[in-house]
Homo-oligomer: A and B are copies of this chain.
Amino acid sequence: MEQRMYLSNHEFDDAIDIFFKGIQNINPRTEIVKTWEAWGRVTAEALYAKISSPHYNSSSMDGIATLSSKTRGASEKNHIILEEGRDYIIVDTGDPIPSEYDCVIMVEDLIRIDETHVAIYKSASSYQNIRPIGEDIVENQLILPANHKIRPVDIGALMAGGVNDLKVYKRPEVGIIPTGTELVEPGGSLKAGDIIEFNSRVFSAQIEEWGGKAKRYDIQKDVYEDIKSTVLRAWEECDIILINAGSSAGREDFSSRVIEELGEVFVHGVSIKPGKPVILGHIKGKPVIGIPGYPVSAYVIMEFIVKRLIYMYQRLKPEEAKRVRAVTSRRIMSSLKYLEFVRVKLGYVGRKLIAAPLSRGAGATMSLVQADGILEIPQNTEGIEAGTEVEVKLLKDEGDIKNTIVCIGSHDPIMDIAGNLLHSENRDMYLSSAHVGSMGGIMALRNGETHMAPIHLLDMESGLYNVSYLKKYLPNRKMALIKCVKRIQGLMVKKGNPLNIKAMEDIVEKRARFVNRQRGSGTRLLMDYIIKKKGIMPEAINGYDREEFTHLGVAAAVEAGDADVGIGIYSAAAMMGLEFIPIGSEEYDIAVPLEYLETEMIKNFIKVITSDEFKKELDRLGGYDYSHIGKIVLI
């Protein structure tokens, strides 16, 4: 249990400065490529035309080439007759004009007399309908400056100008070394402690996207000499070396030691979150970066440092990320010690662009998939209050965000299915779901953060669902309830029901390990309601305070043997192959402010949930009664 301290804890900007100053003497290498293979490459020198285009005087029309002096005096009344061979030749668009002619008369302006004679009725001027030499490009004219990224249209102009080879910057080769005894290749069976190695695959795609060439090395176990020899091999073969993981202060951290031994560590540890344990160094002038192991930490380092590095090798300036002003949906706490990168979902609700923070764990790969933008919370800030206007760096197209239905509330797998169908049917529409429970959904409606909120809230007095909550919590807002499904709630246990749990009381009696849903969720309210009715104290249930945020989360815990019993809906139990003990049914509906009900987005959503395809999916999952689906109840 050796505890090593970070060598430093630089502020992010300082760390980046130190690193890029340390490697500033790198000169990108160049190579010669064929113009027609140069798409996406970056010119290493200015390119001038080698020939003019057109390189000869050519006809810009179908017609005849003739001499303008022979046409003088022609008019409607005074036709002039020309003879083929003596006075003219026939030309098509693009044909060369022999030097004895100086103009072209288009076919529409000719009257044919016989096989070899035409009449004209107006005179032609010199160079009429002729594309002169160099009209498009003149020999020695600049076609492209240096440091220009070649687009398809550039290839055309270069080739027209006779430039068939050009000097471009070499795509930097980036070696990726995954390290860690716990890492396994995908596809095999997994045992506890195994981690599927996927960071290197994400890096490879990023590197290709940024114009580099990725070279992945085999997974290296935590053996110092093995890691060192792989780094040396990568140093021989590549321009940039990325060592993944092994950069925290854990027992088996060899990356920084290897870099220190072979070269120099500029920075180890940066005050950002996620991404803190990064190592920035070099080995004999080649940059070496220790990328943290957690996927989101790795993402931050790739985006902010490796991308810039790969661009530097191609002399490309980094694109400016598009930024938008948005309003935070809730309070976001942050540490004074770190500059923090928070992934957010964005949605235009009414006129406000709302930024809702996603899971902040450094291991949350889904937060990167779902993120529409990144919100930076500066160091020395305790956090941001709800309703604050902030600047968000966009990760998606703004148009896509405008076409996104924001859906915050209770979780059910059917919302995923609805979202998928919506996008399949209307390729420019998206459903963005956040699972915060029914009460969370009601609050989001109140704060104007969401277009819709799926809820299933039992009124303990009346025994009815949903309506009373909307009346109580949104008294001044005209609301509608889109009826959705009745669904069966119950207890989930492993196949075979090893503890033989039949009812709520058995959980207490058999000291079963229970897994609950989070406070504010409709399912938790139901659970609280049931045990209260039965007179069971929460403390009597082992794990009553262990909270999962989704039905699938509960089911997964039971399936893994990590809990003996959990509460949730039938479909989640079925998906995980669990046994299910029903304890009641409930109404899962979707609350929508009346003003949004007639929008194109919500109309499309209703079309999706009332479609045969959706109902077929509900049948497949089981446990849903959809006889009233799509009905509108005005509150």
User: Which residues of chain A have a CB within 8 Å of any CB of chain B?
Assistant: 1, 3, 35-36, 39, 46, 51-58, 60, 62, 90, 92-96, 99, 107, 112, 126-127, 131-148, 151-157, 159-160, 162, 164, 182, 186-187, 190, 192-196, 198-199, 201-206, 208-209, 248-252, 293, 295, 299, 315-317, 319-320, 359, 361, 363-366, 368-369, 397, 399, 413, 416-417, 419-420, 423-424, 427-428, 543, 545-546, 548, 550, 552-553, 555-557, 559-562, 575-576
Q: A204-B36, A560-B56 are in contact. Are A137 and B62 (CB under 8 A)?
A: no
Beyond A60-B363, A132-B548, 8 extra complex contacts between A and B, CB < 8 Å: A127-B546, A136-B365, A142-B419, A148-B423, A152-B209, A157-B368, A160-B196, A162-B186
CA distance A39 to B198 in the complex (A): 13
Our pick among B1, B137, B147 for the contact of A423 (Cβ within 8 Å) is: B147
Nearest CB of chain B from residue A186's CB, rounded to whole Å: 5
Residue of B nearest to A1 (CB): B90
Contact A251 B92, beta carbon cutoff 8 Å: yes
Contact A156 B198, beta carbon cutoff 8 Å: yes
Task: Provide a sorted-by-A list of 21 A–B residue pairs whose CB atoms are within 8 angstroms.
Answer: A1-B90, A39-B205, A53-B365, A57-B562, A62-B249, A62-B250, A92-B250, A95-B193, A126-B545, A132-B557, A137-B366, A139-B556, A140-B575, A141-B550, A152-B203, A153-B365, A155-B205, A156-B201, A156-B202, A156-B365, A159-B186
Contact A201 B155, beta carbon cutoff 8 Å: yes
CA distance A376 to B219 in the complex (A): 55
CA distance A497 to B285 in the complex (A): 57
Contact A206 B152, beta carbon cutoff 8 Å: yes
CA distance A293 to B162 in the complex (A): 18
Q: A134-B557, A299-B153, A369-B153 are in contact. Are A147 and B427 (CB under 8 A)?
A: yes
- A156 contact set on B, CB distance < 8 A: 198-199, 201-202, 295, 365, 368
Our pick among B133, B147, B365 for the contact of A137 (Cβ within 8 Å) is: B365
CA distance A143 to B553 in the complex (A): 14
Closest 6 CB pairs of A and B: A159-B198, A142-B416, A152-B205, A96-B192, A39-B205, A138-B552
Contact A420 B142, beta carbon cutoff 8 Å: yes
Residue of B nearest to A36 (CB): B201
- A293 contact set on B, CB distance < 8 A: 93-94
Contact A556 B134, beta carbon cutoff 8 Å: yes
CA distance A206 to B36 in the complex (A): 12
- A46 contact set on B, CB distance < 8 A: 416-417, 420
- A206 contact set on B, CB distance < 8 A: 152
Q: A93-B248, A135-B361 are in contact. Are A424 and B147 (CB under 8 A)?
A: yes
The count of identical subunits is: 2
Contact B209 A56, beta carbon cutoff 8 Å: no
- A99 contact set on B, CB distance < 8 A: 561-562
Nearest CB of chain B from residue A565's CB, rounded to whole Å: 15
- A162 contact set on B, CB distance < 8 A: 186, 196
Nearest CB of chain B from residue A396's CB, rounded to whole Å: 10
- A548 contact set on B, CB distance < 8 A: 132, 134
Contact B202 A153, beta carbon cutoff 8 Å: yes
Contact A556 B138, beta carbon cutoff 8 Å: yes
Contact A553 B138, beta carbon cutoff 8 Å: yes
Residue of B nearest to A302 (CB): B152
CA distance A503 to B419 in the complex (A): 80
Nearest CB of chain B from residue A304's CB, rounded to whole Å: 15
Contact A190 B51, beta carbon cutoff 8 Å: yes
Q: A51-B190, A132-B557 are in contact. Are A145 and B562 (CB under 8 A)?
A: no
CA distance A403 to B364 in the complex (A): 38
CA distance A96 to B181 in the complex (A): 13
Nearest CB of chain B from residue A366's CB, rounded to whole Å: 6
Nearest CB of chain B from residue A91's CB, rounded to whole Å: 10
- A366 contact set on B, CB distance < 8 A: 136-137, 141, 143, 157
Contact A365 B157, beta carbon cutoff 8 Å: yes
- A204 contact set on B, CB distance < 8 A: 36
Our pick among B96, B137, B315, B550 for the contact of A193 (Cβ within 8 Å) is: B96
- A56 contact set on B, CB distance < 8 A: 192-193, 560
Q: A182-B94, A363-B131, A428-B317 are in contact. Are A138 and B550 (CB under 8 A)?
A: yes
- A555 contact set on B, CB distance < 8 A: 138
CA distance A295 to B203 in the complex (A): 38
- A364 contact set on B, CB distance < 8 A: 135-136
- A203 contact set on B, CB distance < 8 A: 152
Our pick among B3, B90, B141 for the contact of A552 (Cβ within 8 Å) is: B141
- A252 contact set on B, CB distance < 8 A: 92
- A202 contact set on B, CB distance < 8 A: 152-153, 155-156
Nearest CB of chain B from residue A558's CB, rounded to whole Å: 10
CA distance A192 to B56 in the complex (A): 6
A36, A152, A250: which has the most chain B beta carbons within 10 Å?
A152
CA distance A192 to B399 in the complex (A): 50
- A195 contact set on B, CB distance < 8 A: 54, 94
- A3 contact set on B, CB distance < 8 A: 62, 107
Contact A397 B159, beta carbon cutoff 8 Å: no
- A205 contact set on B, CB distance < 8 A: 36, 39, 151-152, 155
A95, A143, A155, A208: which has the most chain B beta carbons within 10 Å?
A155
Residue of B nearest to A197 (CB): B159
- A562 contact set on B, CB distance < 8 A: 57, 99, 132-133
Contact B96 A52, beta carbon cutoff 8 Å: no
Contact A133 B201, beta carbon cutoff 8 Å: no
Contact A160 B208, beta carbon cutoff 8 Å: no
Residue of B nearest to A126 (CB): B546
Our pick among B95, B145, B209 for the contact of A39 (Cβ within 8 Å) is: B209
Nearest CB of chain B from residue A525's CB, rounded to whole Å: 22
